[in-house]
Chain A
């Protein structure tokens, strides 16, 4: 098994473990922290997919900037919508 193959399989295993953790955490009595933990684990999965599967780890700054800009605008969208509904 080559190093690249082993790395991708390990990432996949990590993704499935994170999925199991996400599912398990949804059944724990975590109260208001529950959605935060669910989305934090989802963000962990997304980071693994972006970094290893989408190969961002080998990308130049320009590629990372283009990807990061999209994520930043989504964060703006969610923050502004949230600011509206939370302050009514």
Chain B
């Protein structure tokens, strides 16, 4: 069951699966480098204005960020469990785990949305008519924060769509090689990896002040 057809130029299923995975990893490498630019900006800002960076970061909603890190780590666990279930010939468990990961993605967006709402009320969203910043640097920091978390949220939404597609495709759930589920899970883990580094960059720099 669930044997995937071979496509040109492949004559062996293993080679085709290897190529699928390698293609995904190279794509994820380019995604990682895209976020690398954002981390380079954060580093430049921090090197140029160390004190102000910490002050601006201390305004972040630390508990929203921490909770969201735990939510994403748990959703990554579910994605990994889905791959394991599909490989073990348990398509139902695989589907449930994938939908669980989608649900946790929604929880993440809910928490993030609440955080954005609080920031809107505080008037710290750059470009809005009620925006009021304590310093020019604080505005720079908030630019970085919204660019980084906004880009991350777009990737998260894309990942949720991919997870939902994999979860609703019977052929994907019944594939013992877990090619589609495995590659979608890889994408989801990248979204998690990026957040793991955004968390200390944006939230923890100013913690404890």
The residue from B25, B39, B193, B199 contacting A49, defined by CB atoms under 8 A apart = B193
Contact with A along B54-89 (1 / 0, CB 8 A): 000000000000100110011011011101100010
Q: Name the segment of B128-136, B139-147, B167-175, B201-209 touching the other chain.
A: B201-209
In whole Å, how far is A36's beta carbon from the nearest beta carbon of chain B?
10
Contact with A along B89-112 (1 / 0, CB 8 A): 000000000000000000000000
User: For chains A and B in complex, what number of residue pairs have CB atoms within 8 angstroms?
Assistant: 120
Contacts of A12 in B (CB 8 A): 73-74, 77
Asked if B192 and A49 make an inter-chain contact with CB atoms under 8 angstroms apart, the answer reads yes
Q: What is the interface of chain B, defined by CB distance below 8 A to chain A?
A: 18, 21-22, 25-26, 28-30, 32-33, 36-37, 39-40, 43-44, 46-48, 66, 69-70, 73-74, 76-77, 79-81, 83-84, 88, 182, 185-186, 189, 192-193, 196-197, 199-200, 204-205, 207-208
* Nearest residue, chain A, Cβ from B23: A66
- Residues of A29-63 contacting chain B, CB below 8 A: 35, 38-39, 41-42, 45-46, 49-50, 52-55, 59-60, 62-63
* Nearest residue, chain B, Cβ from A70: B29
Q: What is the interface of chain A, defined by CB distance below 8 A to chain B?
A: 2, 4-5, 8-9, 11-12, 15-16, 19, 22-23, 26-28, 35, 38-39, 41-42, 45-46, 49-50, 52-55, 59-60, 62-63, 66-67, 69-71, 73-74, 77-78, 81-82, 85-86
The residue from B22, B39, B185 contacting A74, defined by CB atoms under 8 A apart = B39
Asked if A5 and B84 make an inter-chain contact with CB atoms under 8 angstroms apart, the answer reads yes
In whole Å, how far is B100's beta carbon from the nearest beta carbon of chain A?
13
In whole Å, how far is B54's beta carbon from the nearest beta carbon of chain A?
9
CA of A67 to CA of B31, assembled, Å: 11
Asked if B48 and A85 make an inter-chain contact with CB atoms under 8 angstroms apart, the answer reads yes
In whole Å, how far is B136's beta carbon from the nearest beta carbon of chain A?
18
Asked if A5 and B76 make an inter-chain contact with CB atoms under 8 angstroms apart, the answer reads no
Asked if B199 and A42 make an inter-chain contact with CB atoms under 8 angstroms apart, the answer reads yes
Most buried by B among A12, A46, A49, A54: A54
Asked if B25 and A66 make an inter-chain contact with CB atoms under 8 angstroms apart, the answer reads yes
